Structure 1
Amino acid sequence: MAEQPQREQWGSRLGFLMAAIGSAIGLGNIWRFPAVTYEHGGGAFLVPYLLALLTAGIPLLILEYTIGRKYRSSPPGALRQLARPAEAIGWWQVAICFVVATYYAAILAWAIRYTGFSFTQAWGDDPEGFLNNEFLNLNETPGEVSTFVPGVAWPLIAVWVLTLVILGLGIRRGIERANIVFIPLLVAFFLVLVVRALTLDGASLGLDALFSPDWGKLTDGGVWVAAYGQIFFSLSVGFGIMITYASYLHRKSDLTGSAMVAAFANSSFEILAGVAVFATLGFMAMDAGVGVSQVSSSGVGLAFVAFPAIISEMPMGAFFGVLFFVSLVIAGLTSLISIVQVIVAAVQDRTGLRRVPAVLSVGGAVSVVSVLLFANDSGLYFLDVSDRFINQYGIALAGLVLLITVSWGLRLLPALQRNADATSSIGLGVWWRICLGVITPVVLTWMMVDSLIGELDENYEGYSTSFLLWGGWSVAVGALLVGVLLTLLSRRGSRPRSSERGSETERTH
């Protein structure tokens, strides 16, 4: 690793918390949590969800905060100081962030365009046809590229320019200040959305559908897997973001208290999003004279098909639509910033580049790939399979490997616990080591096996096997291989820094 200039630090604990919360609150909170809750027992789902938060979410946050603050480096550098082979996990996480950043920005570009579409309700009477045919110009054959889509390209370029400007300003002047503005603004917008949704006819129908408990679901193992999966994917753990953000903390920062604040803030926003989404779906169901199950959806279908249809029917639809899509942009932007920061920090730590050159080099590479892959007529297909496979077999698997390495291979949980306890307001007990050493690895392994069985039973979304191989599996496996390759390249001609030699001495005593 190259010699580094003095590392930046957050200006305040509030600034760090806002950035951590901004990273956690993303598109998944708005369009994934409500659907997962509805499909897995409604109000009863909150029981495994809360247990997953306490046994996996918060312990994982504390672990990543501790590693980042203690070793004061991006994932490759921090994990290298744990053990040299562990550096490969860090570069794997950097490669995962590269993949996620390319398609995450594309969704924000769509949301920007739909903010404008909301004023005139440009989607007309057929939101799905408008999305696929007029806006995305979707090719009938998944993976086949025949035309460029300027209507996606220019807002995508705008997203990247804004993201890179914020990152170029640095930790305090850029990321911290942006999140201190964006997060309160996001909460304010969503509170307005909730109030508006609750005043719609049929809102109670939607809330009953969301929160009415089906206690029998608690005996279904798939419900528990879904709860842990939601916590894992919504808290930005597993792909190096929180290690990176924590590396800019003061050495005496409170870790456990910060993790709990960030985790509960994220979960509170998820519930708020659930109320807004299902109260609105209740209106749509009543207006159409059908059940909520017939209008509920998630992901792209919820944001860009179901909600436009609702906006066309509801009073003050344009106002509601603008607020909703602007909220999507803000939530996604704070997450995108954190994802790209992982790559920037890794490049800085490895090369010694100053911030602006590092941001420009990283941003140039990621944005070019992003525009080439997702501003064409197969962009939606690429996004769908990339997101599926990098989440299931990238983020979750990297998190599992990290946990096994730290808890079982290196047996470092007691030492990391002492480090966290030394400056934290809430001490960690044996529960923390049990959660990270036993409960979470077992659940993540179960998730992997369950997901693989599903992949082998039938092709995801009916895509052809060839498309899934090169558009999905190759992305997930490629991220791992790139991580290994970057590890080999980073070691060539490099010598351990003094901090690494010190950590090795610490482990031997």
Structure 2
Amino acid sequence: MAATTRQREQWSSQTGFILAAIGSAVGLGNIWRFPGVAYENGGGAFLIPYLFALLTAGIPILFLDYAIGHRFRGTAPLAFRRLHKNTEVVGWFQIILSFVISVYYAAVIAWALSYFVFSFDLRWAPDSLNFFVGDYLQVGDPEISTQIVSGVAIPLVVVWVAILVTLALGVAKGVEKANMIFLPLLVVAFIGLVIRAVTLPGAADGLNALFTPDWSELFNPAVWIAAYAQIFFSLSIAFGIMITYSSYQRRKANMTSSGLVVGFANSSFEILAGIGVFATLGFLAWDQSTTVGELEGLSGPILSFVTFPAVIAEMPGGSFFGLVFFASLVMAGFTSIISILQGVSGAVQDKFGFGVRQSAVGVSLVCAVISIALFSTTSGLIALDTVDQWANNIGIVLSAIVMTVLLVWVLRRGEELRFHLNAVSTFKIGRWWILLIGVLAPLLLGYMLLQRIITLLTEGYEGYPDWYLLTFGWGAIAFIVVVALILTALPWRAHRDEEGFEPWPPYREGGSGAATARSADGPDGADRKGTGQ
């Protein structure tokens, strides 16, 4: 059993892993998506299906990602290949999906970085909408534009340089350190924003609009689907991130307890964001002598780059509020994108044997070129909106359905993965977990996917031309599938996918394995096989 001796990177501590996982989950969607979704789906009553979705889908699928990565010691392609050699393509689908998401996600971080600078003189006043789509992004028609907007391209280059440096430093010195710095700063900054927001005139009206429950909405199936969608999209699950992160954990790491901390921390930040956002919207409604319900732009990029700047321009101390708000967006986005790209970079390392720095430079440069070419042009906003719609609502949901059905029903590995989590964790999970990930999750996600496909095929999207949606929407999904197939067909360097690896602890169907789990480990948490894998 001759094996490579390359030592797999590891988190320096359990705390480092937890902070990195929270940093990945807490992103831009927590700030601009959750408050609007909650408001539109029953207000305070939405928290009931939201919590139910967290417990029955979000955390269970998070556990599934953890189990795959931690047991099979690899990024998504390697871990799936070790599960079964014919399932590697599923891992590459997740990785290329992450690649696609990263190239447009970086553009949004660049927008936030620009607006951080703009906050010094509030240059978007008095018309934040025209400034965003006109003066700043210079939005044109849906087309394939080659006209670069320098005001977007320059901060986008800065973002990609920061990403490259962070990834090149490795898991412990780069990704972990970045989260150790930015995540506490993000929490402190956002708590400060919330405290300021709730003291503004009209803040109470905004909070009443968000939290006043409409109990009748609990009987609306669309509200429950919205809750599952929000949990699913906000936890960074089913597209390779958490598989990669958990593969860097030590053998004795407590996986399920970490998952509970990450899941509830993410949801807590979403509720905190909801309080801050709607308190601020309450002030805007008060300032304009209207109600929150009559305001426009209550979610998405319009909330962050049009509605919020309009509030900031009118409030006392608006410049400082703007600096803190957009710094928070930058930090939330950055901790998420480095998690997305660590999965991509790690997969390249696993398959082709590149070093950490080689992989980081190669992946970052390719992503940066595509990102700048597509999303810093006059059609960048429309391209971003289209690709994001298909990547999130088709790509990620499809990935989750395939993953859960494949593992539970086709390969029959659900019990083995449950055994693994219980062998290394203090919080034990029962067979109910397999029912949640094997029955409830794929049924609900399948319904969501089918509904969305029918809507996109019959109604289009945002009135964009069919050829544009075919190119940037369905074309993005086709690109992911084709590249995943190509990468799967390429050979592994020196059989790195198989040699010297044995899943740990040994699993025997029907056995508990708990005693074996403790004795198979070395004192440092590394496996005794000496492979580092």
Query: Aligned residue for 1:262?
Result: 262
Following the alignment from structure 2 to structure 1, what is the Cα–Cα distance between the partners of residues 478 and 307? 34
Query: Aligned residue for 2:429?
Result: 428
Partner SS, residue 120 of structure 2: helix
Given that 2:17 and 2:176 are in contact with CA atoms closer than 8 Å, whether structure 1 keeps it comes out as yes
- State TM-score, norm by structure 2: 0.92
Instruction: Map 1:94-105; keep pairs closer than 5 Å.
Output: 94-105=95-106
Following the alignment from structure 2 to structure 1, what is the Cα–Cα distance between the partners of residues 497 and 178? 35
Query: Aligned residue for 1:214?
Result: 214
Amino acid at match of 1:238: A
Query: Aligned residue for 2:480?
Result: 479
Query: Aligned residue for 1:204?
Result: 204
Report the alpha carbon displacement of residue 457 of structure 1 after superposing the two structures with TM: 3.3
Query: Aligned residue for 2:123?
Result: 122
Report the alpha carbon displacement of residue 477 of structure 1 after superposing the two structures with TM: 2.2
Following the alignment from structure 1 to structure 2, what is the Cα–Cα distance between the partners of residues 184 and 502? 35
Following the alignment from structure 1 to structure 2, what is the Cα–Cα distance between the partners of residues 292 and 502? 54
Partner SS, residue 315 of structure 1: coil
Given that 1:4 and 1:349 are in contact with CA atoms closer than 8 Å, whether structure 2 keeps it comes out as no
Instruction: Map 1:262-301; keep pairs closer than 5 Å.
Output: 262-296=262-296, 297-301=298-302
Following the alignment from structure 2 to structure 1, what is the Cα–Cα distance between the partners of residues 388 and 497? 36
Query: Aligned residue for 2:368?
Result: 367
Partner SS, residue 261 of structure 1: helix
Query: Aligned residue for 2:30?
Result: 29
Query: Aligned residue for 2:167?
Result: 167
Report the alpha carbon displacement of residue 148 of structure 1 after superposing the two structures with TM: 1.2
Query: Aligned residue for 2:234?
Result: 234
- Per-residue deviation, residues 457-505 of structure 1 (Å, max 9, x unmatched): 31211111111010111102221221122111246995852356779x9
Partner SS, residue 334 of structure 1: helix
Query: Aligned residue for 2:461?
Result: 460
Query: Aligned residue for 1:328?
Result: 329
Report the alpha carbon displacement of residue 453 of structure 1 after superposing the two structures with TM: 2.4
Following the alignment from structure 1 to structure 2, what is the Cα–Cα distance between the partners of residues 442 and 307? 37
Following the alignment from structure 2 to structure 1, what is the Cα–Cα distance between the partners of residues 124 and 303? 14
Given that 1:48 and 1:227 are in contact with CA atoms closer than 8 Å, whether structure 2 keeps it comes out as yes
Asked whether 1:345 is paired with 2:346, we answer yes
Pair 1:312–1:446, CA change in 2 (3 A): same
Given that 2:254 and 2:424 are in contact with CA atoms closer than 8 Å, whether structure 1 keeps it comes out as yes
Amino acid at match of 1:261: V
391-400 vs 320-329, greater mean Cα deviation: 391-400
Asked whether 1:73 is paired with 2:74, we answer yes
Report the alpha carbon displacement of residue 146 of structure 1 after superposing the two structures with TM: 4.9
142-151 vs 69-78, greater mean Cα deviation: 142-151
Query: Aligned residue for 2:520?
Result: none
Partner SS, residue 120 of structure 1: coil
Pair 1:309–1:10, CA change in 2 (3 A): same
Structure number having the greater helix percentage = 1
Following the alignment from structure 1 to structure 2, what is the Cα–Cα distance between the partners of residues 408 and 58? 20
Given that 1:3 and 1:352 are in contact with CA atoms closer than 8 Å, whether structure 2 keeps it comes out as no
Instruction: Map 1:306-325; keep pairs closer than 5 Å.
Output: 306-325=307-326
Following the alignment from structure 2 to structure 1, what is the Cα–Cα distance between the partners of residues 315 and 215? 34
Query: Aligned residue for 1:395?
Result: 396
Given that 2:118 and 2:124 are in contact with CA atoms closer than 8 Å, whether structure 1 keeps it comes out as yes
Following the alignment from structure 1 to structure 2, what is the Cα–Cα distance between the partners of residues 180 and 148? 35
Given that 1:74 and 1:243 are in contact with CA atoms closer than 8 Å, whether structure 2 keeps it comes out as yes
Pair 1:204–1:302, CA change in 2 (3 A): same
- Per-residue deviation, residues 102-139 of structure 1 (Å, max 9, x unmatched): 00000010001101111111112111111111111111
Query: Aligned residue for 2:525?
Result: none
Query: Aligned residue for 1:148?
Result: 148
Following the alignment from structure 1 to structure 2, what is the Cα–Cα distance between the partners of residues 256 and 5? 28
Query: Aligned residue for 1:358?
Result: 359
Report the alpha carbon displacement of residue 86 of structure 1 after superposing the two structures with TM: 1.1
Partner SS, residue 102 of structure 1: helix
Report the alpha carbon displacement of residue 167 of structure 1 after superposing the two structures with TM: 1.0
Pair 1:144–1:344, CA change in 2 (3 A): closer
Partner SS, residue 462 of structure 2: helix
- Per-residue deviation, residues 374-395 of structure 1 (Å, max 9, x unmatched): 1110000110001000111111
Following the alignment from structure 2 to structure 1, what is the Cα–Cα distance between the partners of residues 75 and 146? 39
Amino acid at match of 2:185: L
Given that 2:168 and 2:174 are in contact with CA atoms closer than 8 Å, whether structure 1 keeps it comes out as yes
Partner SS, residue 289 of structure 1: coil
Partner SS, residue 429 of structure 2: coil
Query: Aligned residue for 2:531?
Result: none
Following the alignment from structure 1 to structure 2, what is the Cα–Cα distance between the partners of residues 174 and 23? 14
Identity %: 49
Following the alignment from structure 2 to structure 1, what is the Cα–Cα distance between the partners of residues 127 and 145? 25
The number of residues matched between the two structures is: 506
Amino acid at match of 2:22: I
Report the alpha carbon displacement of residue 294 of structure 1 after superposing the two structures with TM: 2.0
Instruction: Map 1:492-507; keep pairs closer than 5 Å.
Output: 497-499=498-500
Q: Runs of 4+ in structure 1 displaced over 2 angstroms?
A: 490-496, 498-503, 505-509
Given that 2:99 and 2:344 are in contact with CA atoms closer than 8 Å, whether structure 1 keeps it comes out as yes
13-22 vs 64-73, greater mean Cα deviation: 64-73
Pair 1:350–1:323, CA change in 2 (3 A): same
Partner SS, residue 498 of structure 1: coil
Amino acid at match of 2:158: A
Partner SS, residue 425 of structure 2: coil
Pair 1:389–1:4, CA change in 2 (3 A): farther
Following the alignment from structure 1 to structure 2, what is the Cα–Cα distance between the partners of residues 472 and 348? 29
Query: Aligned residue for 2:157?
Result: 157
Following the alignment from structure 2 to structure 1, what is the Cα–Cα distance between the partners of residues 220 and 205? 26
Query: Aligned residue for 2:471?
Result: 470
- Per-residue deviation, residues 177-206 of structure 1 (Å, max 9, x unmatched): 111111110000000000000000000111
Report the alpha carbon displacement of residue 252 of structure 1 after superposing the two structures with TM: 0.8
Partner SS, residue 461 of structure 1: coil
- Per-residue deviation, residues 72-99 of structure 1 (Å, max 9, x unmatched): 1110000001111211010001110110
Partner SS, residue 139 of structure 2: coil
- State TM-score, norm by structure 1: 0.97
Report the alpha carbon displacement of residue 347 of structure 1 after superposing the two structures with TM: 0.4
Partner SS, residue 285 of structure 2: helix
Following the alignment from structure 1 to structure 2, what is the Cα–Cα distance between the partners of residues 34 and 420? 33
Given that 2:149 and 2:376 are in contact with CA atoms closer than 8 Å, whether structure 1 keeps it comes out as yes
Following the alignment from structure 1 to structure 2, what is the Cα–Cα distance between the partners of residues 496 and 65? 19
Following the alignment from structure 1 to structure 2, what is the Cα–Cα distance between the partners of residues 500 and 474? 37
Instruction: Map 1:240-255; keep pairs closer than 5 Å.
Output: 240-255=240-255
Following the alignment from structure 1 to structure 2, what is the Cα–Cα distance between the partners of residues 170 and 128? 40
Amino acid at match of 1:224: W
Query: Aligned residue for 2:526?
Result: none
Following the alignment from structure 1 to structure 2, what is the Cα–Cα distance between the partners of residues 449 and 346? 30
